[in-house]
Amino acid sequence: MSDPTRNELLEIYKLHAELADRVSQRREGANRIYVCLLVGLALFLGIFVRFGVKDFPMAIVFLVVGIIGAALSISWFIVIRSCRQLNAGKFDVLHELEEKLAYPFFKREWELLEEGRKLSRYWKLTIVETGLPIIFLTLSMALIGISFS
């Protein structure tokens, strides 16, 4: 197989950059779904606490909502982590392709951001994003704890 031409490399590069962007878009869509599910769960809990069935034990409701919330939070965290890993691989490939092109756009941008090592320079979005599932997981675990007290 012959070496690809510069134009072929550029087309491959553009396609791969688009695929990396799509992973980010899917992650964003997943974030919206998880936020809606967890907020809906919290809304259900609030409504049940306020208007719930008179003789139904609240401990069971707290336990079930806590378990569902914890499962959703853990699942969400895994999705974010998987997307981060997938995009890291995609950007490694993009950096390799850039070595054969006129300007290493992504590699240079990453260098300017000090590769995310200094928080004063750049906060990795997926690191920031994982805060929300951790918060929801903590709240869910608190509900589970309350259900046993």
- Digitized pLDDT (tens) for each residue of the chain, 149 residues in all: 567 788 888 888 899 899 999 999 999 999 999 999 999 999 999 999 999 888 889 999 999 999 999 999 999 999 999 999 999 899 899 889 888 888 888 888 888 888 877 877 778 787 789 999 999 999 999 999 999 98
CB atoms within 10 A of CB 110: 16
Closest CA to 13 of 105, 103, 97: 97
List CB contacts of 82: < 8 A, sequence separation 6 or more: none
Contact between 27 and 91 (Cβ < 8 Å):
no
Contact between 48 and 20 (Cβ < 8 Å):
no
Residue found by looking up tokens 């950007």 in the block? 91
pTM to 2 decimal places = 0.86
Q: Decide: helix, strand or coil at residue 92.
A: helix
Query: 78: which 2 tokens?
Result: 């895994």
Contact between 147 and 59 (Cβ < 8 Å):
yes
